[in-house]
Amino acid sequence: MTSKLELADIQGNILTAYGRLGFPKARYLLFHVGQAEAGRALVQWLHPRVTTAMRWASSRPGALQPRTPVPRPAVTVNVAFTFRGLLALGVPVRTLRGLPDDYIDGMPARAAILGDDVLDNTPDHWDPVWQPDRPGVHLLVALNAQADAEGRPVPDLAAMTDLILEQVASLNAGGSEALVLLEGHRGPSARWQELSALMQGGQPTPVEHFGFMDAIGDPIFSGQYPEGEEQALAIGQGAVDGLGRWRPLATGEFLLGWADEAQEVAGAAMPQSFSRNGSFFSYRKLHQHVPAFEAWVGATSQAFARAWQFQSVDDARQTLMAKMAGRWIDGVPLIAAPDIAGWVEFNRRYPAGTAARLRALVEFRYDADRQGTRCPVTSHMRRMNTRDSLDPRATAEPKERMGSALNNRRRILRRGLPYGARDDIDGEHGIVMICHCASLSRQFEFVQQQWLNFGLDFNAGNDSCPLVGNHPEGARFVIAADPASGHPPFIATALPQFVSTRGGDYFFAPSMTALQMIGMGLIDPT
For 489-503, write each residue's pLDDT tens digit.
999 999 999 999 999
Q: Residue 146, SS3?
A: coil
180 and 319 co-located in one domain = no
| Average pLDDT of span 507-526 | 95
**Could you give phi then psi for residue 289, rounded to 5 degrees?**
-85, 80
Residue 70, C-beta contacts closer than 8 angstroms, at least 6 positions apart: 52, 54, 55, 56
pLDDT of residue 254: 98
The answer to whether residue 461 is domain-embedded is no
238 and 264 co-located in one domain = yes
Supply the angle between the helices 512-520 and 36-46 in degrees, to the nearest 10: 140
Inter-residue contact 432 to 416 (CB < 8 Å): yes
Inter-residue contact 202 to 518 (CB < 8 Å): no
Q: Residue 52, SS3?
A: strand
Q: What is the pLDDT of residues 405-438, one digit of tens each?
A: 999 999 999 998 999 988 776 689 999 999 999 9
Rounded CA gap, 462 and 442, in Å? 20
pLDDT of residue 61: 62
pLDDT of residue 1: 62
Query: What is the torsion angle, in degrees rounded to the nearest 10, for the CA atoms of residue 327, residue 331, residue 335 and residue 337?
Result: -100
280 and 344 co-located in one domain = no
Residue 259: pLDDT band with limits 50, 70, 90: very high
Q: What angle do CA 116, 253, 375 make, to 5 degrees?
A: 65
| Average pLDDT of span 434-455 | 97
Whole-prediction pTM: 0.96
249 and 305 co-located in one domain = no
Q: Residue 253, SS3?
A: helix
The percentage of the chain sitting over the pLDDT mark of 70, rounded to a whole number, equals 98
What 308-315 contacts at long range (C-beta under 8 Å, 24+ apart), as own/partner pairs, is: 308/481, 308/485, 308/487, 308/490, 309/487, 315/340
Q: Tell whether the model's pLDDT for residue 251 goes beyond 80.
A: yes
User: How buried is 6 (Cβ within 10 angstroms: 0-12 exposed, 13-18 middle, 19+ buried)?
Assistant: middle
Out of 161-165, 253-257, 297-301, 418-422, which region has the weakest mean confidence (pLDDT)? 418-422
The answer to whether residue 455 is domain-embedded is no
Rounded CA gap, 121 and 125, in Å? 7
Give how many domains the chain has, as a whole number.
2
Q: Residue 154, SS3?
A: coil
208 and 75 co-located in one domain = yes
pLDDT of residue 416: 87
Rounded CA gap, 162 and 154, in Å? 14
The answer to whether residue 427 is domain-embedded is no
CA distances to 8, 118, 327, 463, 470 from 454, in Å: 40, 14, 21, 6, 9
| Average pLDDT of span 361-373 | 95
201 and 94 co-located in one domain = yes
Rounded CA gap, 168 and 276, in Å? 29
Rounded CA gap, 491 and 496, in Å? 15
Q: Residue 372, SS3?
A: coil
111 and 197 co-located in one domain = yes
The answer to whether residue 2 is domain-embedded is no
Q: Tell whether the model's pLDDT for residue 519 goes beyond 90.
A: yes
116 and 231 co-located in one domain = yes
The answer to whether residue 328 is domain-embedded is yes
182 and 205 co-located in one domain = yes
The answer to whether residue 217 is domain-embedded is yes
CA distances to 195, 219, 447 from 366, in Å: 34, 17, 18
**Could you give phi then psi for residue 417, rounded to 5 degrees?**
-150, 165
The answer to whether residue 460 is domain-embedded is no
Which of 286, 348, 336, 309 minimizes the C-alpha distance to 502?
286
Inter-residue contact 146 to 154 (CB < 8 Å): yes
Rounded CA gap, 251 and 267, in Å? 15
* Amino acid type, 112: A
178 and 77 co-located in one domain = yes
107 and 192 co-located in one domain = yes
CA distances to 90, 180, 275, 349, 355 from 104, in Å: 15, 22, 14, 50, 43
* Amino acid type, 148: D
55 and 27 co-located in one domain = yes
pLDDT of residue 175: 76
| Average pLDDT of span 28-51 | 98
Rounded CA gap, 472 and 258, in Å? 41
pLDDT of residue 436: 98
Q: What is the mean pLDDT of the chain?
A: 94
Q: What is the pLDDT of residues 187-210, one digit of tens each?
A: 889 999 999 999 998 899 999 999
Domain of residue 116, residue span: 7-284+503-520
| Average pLDDT of span 313-337 | 98
| Average pLDDT of span 22-48 | 97
The answer to whether residue 259 is domain-embedded is yes
Rounded CA gap, 414 and 216, in Å? 10
The percentage of the chain sitting over the pLDDT mark of 90, rounded to a whole number, equals 88
Which of 472, 501, 435 minimizes the C-alpha distance to 131?
501
Inter-residue contact 182 to 135 (CB < 8 Å): yes
